[in-house]
Amino acid sequence: DDGPSENTKKIIDILDQYDAKATFFVTGNNKKCNKYIKEAYEKGHTIGLHTYSHDYKEVYSSMDAYFDDLNKIGQMVKEQIGFVPKYIRFPGGSSNTKSASYCKGLMTTLVTEVQNRGYQYYDWNGSSGDGAVRTTEQLVDQATSFHDNNIILLSHDSETKDTTVEALPKIIEYYQSQGYVFKALDLNSYVAHHGVNN
C-alpha cells in the first residue's frame, strides 16, 4: 500500500528474484514515481486503487467525495496501464475507525456501493506491522506468524520504510519454504473483508 515510492523499484526487483507476485494499491501522492506503476503491471503484478489523496478527512467526508477521489486515482492509473482497475483498498481498511468522525455510517454505505459500481475491496488477514516504525527483524517476525491457507499480507511501499524492503526477502523465503505461492490478486482470489466500525 501507499506507493509508488522511491522504494517501488527495489520491491519489484526482489519480487522478481523470487518469482513472487503482489498487488500494489497506489495513490496519487508521489507522481514522479508513477512509471513504476507501469513497470509493476508489466511484470505481472496487480495494480489496485488506494485513493488519490489518501487524506481521510477528504476521502471520507461524503460518498461523493470518496467516488470523486476514486475516479481521479482510476484515471491516473489508466494513464500508466491503459485501463481502470477494479481492485480497491480503503485507506485504513474497511474497518477504519477514522471515517466516522468525518461522515458517520459512510463505510457501511461504501462497502456496498463500491461493489454496486463493479469494484471489489480487499482488506487483509495478515500484516508485517510496518504501519509503525519497526526493525527488519520485528517485521519478519510478525509477517511470518500467519497460518491461513489464503493470506493477504499488508505491507507498505514508502520512501521512509526501508526496513519493509529489507524484510521482504526473508518473508518470501519463509512462506515459500512452507509451500505458499505469492500471487497477484485477480477476480478469483480469496477476498478478505473486515467488519465496518462506523
- Residues forming contacts to Zn ion in the complex (CB under 5 A) are 1-2
Beta carbon of residue 140, minimum distance to Zn ion (angstroms, whole number)? 21
Beta carbon of residue 53, minimum distance to Zn ion (angstroms, whole number)? 11
Beta bridge partners, 120, equal 87
CB-nearer residue toward Zn ion: 124 or 180 = 124
Contact indicator for 92, 48 with CB cutoff of 8 Å: no
CB-nearer residue toward Zn ion: 1 or 123 = 1
Contact indicator for 161, 6 with CB cutoff of 8 Å: no
Beta carbon of residue 27, minimum distance to Zn ion (angstroms, whole number)? 7
- As a whole number of angstroms, the distance between CA 12 and CA 126 comes to 20
User: Can you spell out the DSSP letters for 97-162?
Assistant: SSHHHHSTTHHHHHHHHHHHTT-EE---SEE--TTS---HHHHHHHHT----SS--EE----TT-H
Residue nearest to Zn ion (CB): 1
Amino acid, res. 104: K
Quick one: cell of 151?
493470506
Beta carbon of residue 184, minimum distance to Zn ion (angstroms, whole number)? 18
Beta carbon of residue 137, minimum distance to Zn ion (angstroms, whole number)? 23
CB-nearer residue toward Zn ion: 173 or 193 = 193
Q: Please give the DSSP secondary-structure letter assigned to residue 29.
A: S
CB-nearer residue toward Zn ion: 93 or 198 = 93
CB-nearer residue toward Zn ion: 125 or 176 = 125
**Sign of CA pseudo-dihedral 103, 155, 179, 39:** positive
